[in-house]
A = this chain, B = another copy of it.
Amino acid sequence: MPSGTLLYAQSGGVTAVINATAAGVLEAARKRRVKVLAARNGILGALREELVDTSRMPLAAVRALAHTPGGAFGSCRVKLKSLEEDRARYERLIAVLRAHDVRWFLYNGGNDSADTALKLSRLAAGFGYPLTCVGVPKTVDNDLAVTDCCPGFGSAAKYTAVSVREAALDVAAMAETSTKVFVYEAMGRHAGWLAAAGGLAGKGPDEAPQLILFPERPYDEADFLAKVKGVVDRVGWCVVVASEGIRTADGGFVADAGAGKDAFGHTQLGGVAAHLAGRVHDALGLKVHWALPDYLQRSARHIASKTDFEQAQAVGRVAVELALAGRNATMPVIVRTSDAPYRWKVEAAPLERIANREKKMPAGFLRRDGYGITAAARRYLEPLVRGEAYPPYGSDGLPRYGHAEAPLATQRLAPFAEG
């Protein structure tokens, strides 16, 4: 039994399977008889010394996390700055880790969290404090470098593809006398991974979604409207998947154009789909419906991808192994060894190669006209949405989601004023 405590924290936007990673961490650590504290609300909990004592969670509760969406220990959107600018907070972190004999720190998040973990590991080394920092990948944006894909993305991608396929069947049935255009807004401020996943809903150019708008290509309204009209003329109806992050050629977010005033002069929170729907309605005179699933797409554990679920658990387990083996400043990443049959394994990668970088969609994933995905994109995406990993349901017809209710570890330090 290794001496010391492992600290686990969740960071940034949560996903349908980040708790599956947490379950992987907790189960693996229990097998190695390592005590795990989980920071409440991510790095904030570490600063505030609010550390959930997971040893007080029954094993059944730990296992229930595997099928529970959201962030069971709470997450946060707090980015630590450079060591120079944020020295007080980094030093506080070290003090809290020291107070609880934390020897291993697992930070479950995206680029920013990888950066924080890296900086913390450097600071600890500078202080001579023995700490192994391991980043654990997570993001529905799928934009982490090095790893083939990011846990959380596959499930959001499956939700997107399934939702678009279903809504398209609805539109097709209604189009003769009612809705002719349907716009679905997908998350993705900088990269169109989720919008691309929407493309899995259909194959030929006349199957929905007939048009996808990516942040990787400048949005040209006239061209878009002409394309919509062409599809409606040919097919009778049109389904559009739009990434929230599309921009016009001058670099402005289209979503910002949608933020206007309502009839009473109040702020109107629009978004891309609302804007596009308005344009299609006004310019083409077509009846249009639109959907903005927002958090639904990243919390839809009920339609999680089995691949994603298994990878999310695996990176949690491997993160514990890496930590206990002293592989400081690393992250377990998914390595794809074969497309068909799909095969993958988890390997360690240095945080330096991941922190603060952003993986864009390869240009070869976008169809030449910019409105669809290529066969290469399908080859990449399809295995990630494959398989179902249904949660258990209660007799009330709802998923039995778990909780991470456990007492906090006794606080040993004075409160941190700033945290």
Contacts and interface: CB of A to CB of B under 8 A. Distances in A.
A177 B44 contact: yes
Determine how many copies of this chain the complex contains: 2
Interface in A192-240: 200-201
B279 A266 contact: yes
Interface stretch (A1-9, A126-134, A358-366, A385-393): A385-393
Contact of A170 (B173, B292, B298, B398): B298
A144 to B, nearest CB: 20
Interface residues of A, number: 91
A117 interface: no
Contacts of A417: none
A359 to B, nearest CB: 21
A299 B390 CA distance: 19
A260 B263 contact: yes
A77 B258 CA distance: 30
B262 A278 contact: yes
17 contacts: A14-B174, A71-B170, A74-B176, A77-B178, A162-B302, A167-B294, A179-B295, A258-B263, A259-B263, A260-B262, A260-B263, A269-B274, A269-B278, A269-B290, A291-B293, A292-B292, A386-B396
Interface of A: 10, 13-14, 16, 41, 44, 68-72, 74-78, 158, 161-163, 165-174, 176-179, 182, 200-201, 256-264, 266-271, 274-275, 277-279, 281-282, 288-296, 298-303, 305, 307, 382-388, 390, 393, 395-399, 401
